[in-house]
Structure 1
């Protein structure tokens, strides 16, 4: 046999051996018992980068990978690296105080919380956690809006009975208490604060520890799963705070891929679900499960009310947006790239390009996006009429059309941002493509979290809505921001145009 044939046989033998080994791993991987012990939780002294985390145990459904984000900075923080009033403590990983409530032993469950003294909230996670939907009093959720018109909000928010969630305590008698936490723990680490109905606090307070053979499940979910309760789920600003909380929870707990999602609420379907589905790996409603469901790894996301995006409306958060590359080389407690990272995450979730740099005069002109308010049916208790923030919006828009079509400095494309009748992907794309974003104060402007660097914001603010939402978001993003404060709700078109002329000149146009 010549040397070439010997080499060929060796290659074939190697491929056969490799294939056999792969098949062995496949059968071991896919035929593991659902009751097999979970992998040990990540060590408190080692946080792995989500891009290099190991494959989750017994993965049976596909999970979306994390996209490569230009503004990404590592989320692994030591307790001393995020001072309490720092931007990282507010917008990044300030959840550094760890509390183990139940440690994994002998294949039993585990539960712990990561507390942020800055936000006064906790990200909690557990293994071998069982949900019993019949012990949660709320509507089914996920219905078509037209089918539930008039339904009360009280029917949609969850009321948890004892044992609505249970954690596997191992052998009978191994744990000497019935409930996972007491009132003292809740008051210290999941405080009610200004929130009348704090669903995550109530959920944690009702978790029972079940030992012995009492821990049985009708369905197992093997992949990491976020449990989220939404409140004002049809309002974009409040929903963005929920998106951000869910994203932060995913990063703080070092999840290997984008987690799956379970809504622990009874709200009907809404257009904003399009983004939830894009951001995460899958979506289900708690009441849509036919029996008890067990999670190999569940993460309880804090309420959107507890994020810096919401707390910044009443607290003085001294933070300014900066490029991630700058902060990588020179960390600064008063600068953050976290909102830019989050905005890139939203754009990446919809498959929009990330490596876009706006400089000089664009080839096809500058897009000026006018975010409009229009009537639409938002939720079961909504009459379909939006509150007017700019009484002569149509007049202003028509004046801008005339001005933009005859502007001599450069080509201007005025974009009619009728967001209520656009898909979420198209809304995000319009934000990304805009050099200037203009609009009356309203939830639609929250989309500026996805705006590119160097985008300019011009907000028209009526006397009844002098609120700092978008000025703060622009500052935390590092965007140039201007405001026109009205005496009432009527804007002089000439004043709006004069402001835009100055902005276009600043853009070299």
Structure 2
């Protein structure tokens, strides 16, 4: 072999090695989660189910900042009440699955996935639910420009923003707040006719509708970003962020959006609002993989996969207050054995998801509780303003709450047949994990009508609910949650806001007897 041939072979081997490294770099960046594929077992991948690849190799935009390290995504926990969120166009209108599960059966492919696969450009689609009258919209290669979203920064301590109106914390979107790349000639992605069809304006200043309205189309050369986010990301806008009940509806919407879009792992979150920090963020962080505020980004950021989560007001947990949702909670096993459009296990599934997110076992029932006595959790209601900076009247739901609690404490200490532990549920002073622990360990949950009772969504099967309802607060919020979870529910209706302690003890005594005491 002469010298020229040796040089040629060396050059060939060097080029082969360089090409191999390039291919490895491309596929590893385009498919960062391929080694997590086993986590997707039993969780439907919507894109694959519709004939598209799981990961679309987008042509990445020019980045003005160094690439951000990929943040690991949390796997979905194994929970007893989980049932597949399979896409089915035959889900019955106003059925339990249409309300609580995957009733998003009408898909509008605005920028088809197949075209994005060929060109490396953006894709975008919306899934509309006729039952909930809203959509879950999602897309790939979407740019968000925080500079074109008018709102406060968000994430501050409450004491640092005293005096700031909450109106300044809700987003206003300029055209171009969101951007997609496409060869289409029109400027805007969708028009008002389409918006009216798939995102009806169910509330004033509907932020999801406005964010989709703001999406403009640009060409490849104009699609620049400071940061590229590989991980699937939920874009969430909250209204009543400091109220537990309304936050539970937001949690459910985010969970539902994650399942409907078939995400193999728990998504990351971006709050597209300017609200200050609250204790409730502990649960947001436990449920999902990470959390950032939109204004934390210093410039345009591109998402490989972004999902616009519907408002909590558009979930069945809220809609049930004003419209009849004829559903009863049963176990997932019962539902599999005897399918019924008027039965659901979805709310139990969601409650188990919350408990699992904090690391609690999700297969505990009353056998373990009774061994150490029955915990009766009295959810205390402290006078507060649902919006911490609003002017307004502080409302008392139970004027003699302390007297009722003291009477129950005396009753519990004198209960001889079995041990009864009365738990003083000052939940506002407890970390969220300890609040969930108290709910999980309770055999009976009692309290005046108030947002704290929304925690019953995480109660275990066979927990009994006793709600004390004043004359001014005859609302069905917690009766419905109990019904949708299949929990035993009792109510004591008051003529005013004063409860007779003896009447409460009599009702509670009957409940404890029914538990075997």
Alignment match of 2:94 (pick from 85, 89, 94)? 85
- What SS class does the counterpart of residue 362 from structure 1 fall into? helix
**How far, CA to CA, are the matches of 2:256 and 2:55 in structure 1?**
20
- What SS class does the counterpart of residue 472 from structure 1 fall into? helix
1:2-13 equivalence runs, <5 A: none
Cα distance change of structure 1 residues 370 and 26 upon mapping to structure 2, 3 Å threshold: farther
- What SS class does the counterpart of residue 240 from structure 1 fall into? helix
**How far, CA to CA, are the matches of 1:377 and 1:268 in structure 2?**
15
Q: Is the 8 A contact 1:138 1:158 kept in 2?
A: yes
Indicate the residue corresponding to 1:14 in structure 2. Answer: none
**How far, CA to CA, are the matches of 1:289 and 1:507 in structure 2?**
53
Cα distance change of structure 1 residues 238 and 292 upon mapping to structure 2, 3 Å threshold: same
Q: Does 1:486 align with 2:499?
A: no
Q: TM-score, normalised by structure 2?
A: 0.87
Indicate the residue corresponding to 1:296 in structure 2. Answer: 304
1:451-490 equivalence runs, <5 A: 451-490=459-498
**How far, CA to CA, are the matches of 1:31 and 1:450 in structure 2?**
38
Q: Is the 8 A contact 1:100 1:111 kept in 2?
A: yes
**How far, CA to CA, are the matches of 1:238 and 1:147 in structure 2?**
24
How many Å apart are 1:393 and its aligned residue? 0.3
CA RMSD across the alignment: 2.5
Indicate the residue corresponding to 1:151 in structure 2. Answer: 164
**How far, CA to CA, are the matches of 2:57 and 2:474 in structure 1?**
47
**How far, CA to CA, are the matches of 1:68 and 1:78 in structure 2?**
23
- What SS class does the counterpart of residue 407 from structure 1 fall into? coil
C-alpha distance after superposition, 1:416-466 (max 9, x if no partner): 000111111111110000000000000000000000000000000000100
**How far, CA to CA, are the matches of 1:348 and 1:47 in structure 2?**
31
Count of aligned residue pairs for this structure pair: 473
C-alpha distance after superposition, 1:326-363 (max 9, x if no partner): 11122110000000000000000000111112149711
Q: Is the 8 A contact 2:30 2:55 kept in 1?
A: no
Q: Is the 8 A contact 2:247 2:312 kept in 1?
A: yes
How many Å apart are 1:77 and its aligned residue? 2.7
Q: Is the 8 A contact 1:47 1:76 kept in 2?
A: no
**How far, CA to CA, are the matches of 1:265 and 1:180 in structure 2?**
23
- What SS class does the counterpart of residue 382 from structure 2 fall into? coil
**How far, CA to CA, are the matches of 1:242 and 1:322 in structure 2?**
23
Indicate the residue corresponding to 2:64 in structure 1. Answer: none
- What SS class does the counterpart of residue 124 from structure 2 fall into? strand
Q: Is the 8 A contact 1:124 1:301 kept in 2?
A: yes
- What SS class does the counterpart of residue 413 from structure 2 fall into? helix
Indicate the residue corresponding to 2:37 in structure 1. Answer: none
Indicate the residue corresponding to 1:317 in structure 2. Answer: 325
Any gaps of 5 or more consecutive residues in structure 1?
1-21, 35-39
Cα distance change of structure 1 residues 56 and 426 upon mapping to structure 2, 3 Å threshold: farther
- Runs (4 or more) in structure 1 with deviation over 6 Å come to 22-26, 53-59
How many Å apart are 1:31 and its aligned residue? 5.6
Indicate the residue corresponding to 2:149 in structure 1. Answer: 136
How many Å apart are 1:251 and its aligned residue? 0.2
Q: Is the 8 A contact 2:266 2:288 kept in 1?
A: yes
- What SS class does the counterpart of residue 220 from structure 1 fall into? strand
Indicate the residue corresponding to 1:281 in structure 2. Answer: 289
Cα distance change of structure 1 residues 497 and 142 upon mapping to structure 2, 3 Å threshold: same
Indicate the residue corresponding to 1:390 in structure 2. Answer: 398
C-alpha distance after superposition, 1:57-89 (max 9, x if no partner): 998220000000110000013101x10011000
Q: TM-score, normalised by structure 1?
A: 0.89
Indicate the residue corresponding to 2:66 in structure 1. Answer: none
**How far, CA to CA, are the matches of 2:209 and 2:502 in structure 1?**
51
- What SS class does the counterpart of residue 377 from structure 2 fall into? strand
Q: Is the 8 A contact 1:224 1:297 kept in 2?
A: yes
Indicate the residue corresponding to 1:7 in structure 2. Answer: none
Q: Is the 8 A contact 2:46 2:262 kept in 1?
A: no
Alignment match of 2:47 (pick from 27, 34, 42)? 42
1:7-406 equivalence runs, <5 A: 30=28, 42-43=47-48, 45=50, 60-80=70-90, 82-103=91-112, 104=116, 105-169=118-182, 174-193=183-202, 195-359=203-367, 362-375=370-383, 380-382=388-390, 386-406=394-414
How many Å apart are 1:374 and its aligned residue? 1.8
**How far, CA to CA, are the matches of 2:508 and 2:317 in structure 1?**
28
How many Å apart are 1:380 and its aligned residue? 4.9
